[in-house]
């Protein structure tokens, strides 16, 4: 039986590719330009490999879809801190991809020598929610809330988070971002992990030896001795900064590829905004609207931020709003205006060889063959709702962080995915069996906010300006 490898995309790809090159497996396809997720070494017929987002690798190896994986110790810890009994073993520190996760805050906002006893929730945000919860337990926060983020954690303090967990090379880098490091949570490097059952039962010695022989001798083992994070009582007056003025409208604008679209709409509405998109990564562009405060964050994170009252308005995709509403049906967030760009369909997808063409047929096939349906999705709550609504029993949601189309057919039975033209799906030998809904970009707002009439009219005015610009353009 072939040995299954999960290899990382992104930052670790070049050094891992270099090891595999030295190992002479014939893995030339493993590079940034490759359009293939599945890799078959030309010189080894005992290996099959697939590329994943680094964050997906611990779970893929732990659930036994892959025997061996390479990922950062940060993502591994994020997984094992929540699931300490998972079937993962670390075999080797690979000596590259160095960094550390720091707990950070705006200078002066977190102060003191002993554990906090304040009654207001301490808000911890970041891409590592499990480590955030573990930190809260460790420093015995009396009351806390964890905001799991897709990214851009550095945009949150001080208004929308008190503490963030960020991954950086050094404490100096944390300071350069304008933060004070409260302490190091964990040092990390790339590491070689294996599934515990594979380690016990499967002969992988040839592959392991080949990798091991081509790792550069490591200079030092990462120092995981934790610097104790000490968090004291917070100064209340600095928590919300200037955006806490009662009439101020707090607006979240998207980072990433949506920025140019949003900029066009703002321009068309005659709303001037400086430094958006920003070449320097400025997260607080100045907008020429009285009483508006703008921040740039990930669109995926916006619905929860608006729901919790940290923002009043945001521009995001209807898909992410829907995912949020499936998780929190009573959420006060609603779509205020359809911006009619960024159209995609949210679809249910299976591999071409799966002999079904509708959801009903899939349900029947799962029932007949007594299969537990594995559903891979970035939209975990939409996927969960879809599985429940269609009476899949049993089913499992496999959360992913991108490149979801690579999961079929080996690592999932069904995807809940977005598509514009469907061409990527076709290219990956996949087919659509159901369209769940259509999604475009939209303005979302918090309908329950207890706000002044001035603020309400500012919000309504902003939505109206965008609406008129859209009508004019069409």
Partner 1 sequence: MPIAHCKGCMDLTAQEMQRFRSVEMAFLEMSKCFGYEEVRTPTLEYLHLFTSAGTLTQGMLRRVYSFLDWDGWSGERVVLKPDATIPVARLYVDRLQKMGNVARLCYVTNSFVFEETGTKSRERWQCGAELIGEGGELADAELISLACESVKRMGLTNIEIKLSHVGLIRGLLASLGIGQSDQDGVLGRILDGEENAFDGIQSDKPQSVDVLKLLFNTKGNSAGFVKNIRALFTEDDPDVADELNSFISIIEIVEAMGLPCQVDFTSGKGFEYYTGIIFRLYVDNVNVGGGGRYDKLIEMMGGTAAPAAGFALYIDRLSSRISVDNLALSSTERVSLKIVPDAVKLGTELADLLRRTGLIVVTSLGGQTYVDCGWEVEITSAQEFILTNLANKEKRSFKEAIDVVAELGIS
Residue 217 engages partner 1 in binding (rule: CB under 8 A): no
- Beta strands 395-399 and 373-377, pairing class: parallel
- What's the min distance (Å) between Cβ of 473 and partner 1? 33
**Residues 98 to 117 in contact with partner 1, rule: CB under 8 A:** 115, 117
Q: Does 307 bind partner 1 (CB under 8 A)?
A: yes
Length of the chain, please? 474
Residues contacting residue 468 through CB under 8 Å, at least 6 positions apart: 269
- The correct pick among 63, 145, 271, 403 for binding partner 1 (CB under 8 A) is 145
- Dmax of the chain from CA atoms? 71
Chosen residue from 21, 34, 134, 170 binding partner 1 by CB under 8 A: 134
Cβ distance 208 to 91 under 8 Å? Answer: yes
SS3 140: coil
Stretch (H or E) spanning 309: none
Which tokens hold the place of 420? 């514009």
Cβ–Cβ under 8 Å, residues 79 and 130: yes
Residue 87 in the binding site for partner 1 (CB under 8 A): no
3-state class (DSSP) for residue 388: helix
Burial of 220 by CB count in 10 Å (0-12 exposed, 13-18 middle, 19+ buried)? Answer: exposed
Q: Is 328 in the site for partner 1 (CB under 8 A)?
A: yes
- Would you give the end-to-end CA distance of the chain in angstroms? 59
Strands (E) across 277-429 are located at 292-297, 313-317, 333-338, 344-351, 373-377, 395-399, 414-419
Number of H helices, E strands in the chain: 14, 21
> Which is closer to partner 1, CB of 129 or CB of 422?
129
Q: Which residues touch 73 (CB under 8 Å, ≥6 apart)?
A: 90, 93, 186, 187, 188, 189, 190, 191, 222
User: Least distance from C-beta 351 to partner 1, angstroms?
Assistant: 23
Q: Which of 32, 33, 85, 355 binds partner 1 (CB under 8 A)?
A: 85
Distance CA 470, CA 89 (A): 55
Reduced to 3 states, what is the DSSP secondary structure of residue 256?
helix
Piece in contact with partner 1 (CB under 8 A), picked from 51-59, 197-205, 325-333, 352-360: 325-333
Is residue 246 part of the contact set for partner 1 (CB under 8 A)? no
Q: Which residue lies nearer to partner 1 by CB, 115 or 470?
A: 115
Query: What tokens were used for 115?
Result: 């554990």
Close Cβ partners of 225 (under 8 Å, ≥ 6 residues apart)? none
Near partner 1 by CB under 8 A: residue from 11, 89, 137, 452: 137
Listed ranges 2-10, 99-107, 135-143, 420-428: which one lies at the site for partner 1 (CB under 8 A): 135-143
Pick from 66, 147, 318, 392: which binds partner 1 (CB under 8 A)? Answer: 147
Least distance (Å) from partner 1 to the CB of residue 131?
12
Residue from the set 370, 453, 471, 472 that interacts with partner 1 by CB under 8 A: 370
The region of 58-66, 132-140, 169-177, 254-262 touching partner 1 under the rule CB under 8 A is 132-140
Judged by CB under 8 A, the residue of 153, 304, 443, 459 near partner 1 is: 304
Segment contacting partner 1 by CB under 8 A, of 26-34, 293-301, 307-315, 350-358: 307-315
- For residue 149, CA distances in Å to 100, 125, 265, 312 come to 18, 7, 26, 18
- Is 352 a binding residue for partner 1 by CB under 8 A? The answer is no
Instruction: Give the nearest distance from C-beta 133 to partner 1 in angstroms.
Output: 8
From start to end of 19-60, where are the E strands?
38-39, 47-52
Q: Which of 280, 329, 453, 471 binds partner 1 (CB under 8 A)?
A: 329
By CB under 8 A, tell whether 128 contacts partner 1.
no
Q: Is 121 in the site for partner 1 (CB under 8 A)?
A: yes
Q: How far is the CB of 119 from partner 1 (least distance, A)?
A: 8
Kindly state the smallest distance separating residue 236's Cβ from partner 1, in Å.
Answer: 18
Strand positions, DSSP E, 177-264: 180-188, 190-195, 249-254
Residue 142 interacts with partner 1 (CB under 8 A)? yes
Phi-psi region of 326 (alpha: psi -120 to 50; beta: other; left: phi over 0): alpha
Phi/psi of residue 168, each to 5°? -145, 170
> What is the SS3 assignment for 168?
strand
User: Which residue in the set 84, 217, 246, 355 belongs to the binding site for partner 1 (CB under 8 A)?
Assistant: 84
**79, two tokens:** 């997984």
Which C-beta is closer to partner 1: that of 142 or that of 427?
A: 142
Which residues inside 430-449 make contact with partner 1, applying CB under 8 A? none
**Residues that bind partner 1 in the complex, under the rule CB under 8 A:** 84-85, 115, 117, 121, 123, 133-134, 136-138, 140-147, 228, 303-304, 307-309, 324, 327-331, 333, 370
């Amino acid at each position: 039986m072939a040995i299954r490898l999960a290899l990382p995309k992104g930052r670790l790809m070049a050094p891992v590719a270099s090891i595999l090159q030295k190992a002479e497996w014939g893995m030339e396809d493993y590079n940034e330009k490759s359009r293939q997720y599945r890799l078959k070494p030309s010189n080894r017929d005992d290996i099959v490999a697939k590329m994943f987002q680094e964050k997906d690798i611990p779970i893929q190896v732990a659930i036994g879809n892959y025997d061996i994986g390479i990922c950062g110790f940060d993502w591994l810890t994020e997984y094992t801190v929540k699931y300490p009994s998972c079937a993962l073993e670390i075999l080797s520190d690979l000596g590259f991809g160095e960094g550390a996760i720091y707990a950070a805050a705006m200078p002066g906002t977190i102060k003191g020598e002993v554990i906090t006893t304040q009654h207001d929730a301490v808000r911890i945000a970041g891409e590592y929610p499990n480590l955030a919860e573990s930190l809260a337990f460790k420093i015995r926060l009396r009351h806390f809330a964890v905001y799991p983020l897709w990214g851009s954690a550095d945009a949150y303090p001080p208004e929308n988070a008190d503490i963030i967990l960020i991954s950086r090379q050094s404490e100096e880098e944390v300071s350069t971002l304008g933060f004070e490091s409260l302490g190091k949570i964990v040092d990390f490097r790339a590491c070689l992990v294996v599934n515990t059952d594979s380690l016990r039962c499967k002969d992988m010695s040839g592959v392991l030896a080949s990798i091991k022989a081509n790792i550069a001798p490591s200079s030092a083992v990462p120092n995981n001795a934790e610097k104790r994070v000490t968090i004291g009582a917070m100064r209340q007056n600095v928590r919300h900064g200037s955006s806490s003025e009662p009439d101020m409208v707090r607006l979240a604008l998207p980072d990433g590829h949506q920025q140019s679209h949003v900029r066009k709409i703002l321009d068309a509405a005659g709303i001037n905004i400086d430094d958006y998109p920003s070449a320097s990564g400025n997260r607080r562009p100045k907008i020429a609207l009285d009483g508006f405060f703008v921040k740039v964050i990930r669109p995926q994170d916006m619905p929860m931020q608006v729901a919790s009252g940290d923002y009043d308005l945001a521009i995001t995709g209807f898909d992410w709003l829907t995912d949020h509403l499936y998780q929190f049906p009573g959420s006060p967030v609603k779509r205020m205006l359809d911006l009619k760009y960024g159209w995609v369909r949210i679809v249910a997808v299976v591999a071409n060889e799966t002999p079904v063409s509708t959801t009903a047929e899939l349900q029947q096939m799962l029932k007949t063959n007594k299969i537990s349906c594995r559903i891979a999705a970035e939209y975990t709550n939409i996927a969960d709702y879809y599985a429940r609504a269609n009476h899949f029993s049993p089913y499992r949601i496999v959360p992913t962080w991108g490149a979801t189309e690579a999961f079929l057919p080996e690592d999932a039975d069904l995807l809940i995915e977005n598509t514009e033209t469907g061409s990527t799906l076709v290219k990956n030998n996949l087919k659509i069996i159901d369209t769940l809904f259509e999604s475009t970009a939209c303005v979302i707002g918090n309908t329950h906010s207890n706000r002044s009439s001035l603020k309400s009219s500012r919000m309504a005015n902003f939505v109206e300006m965008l609406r008129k610009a859209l009508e004019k353009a069409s």
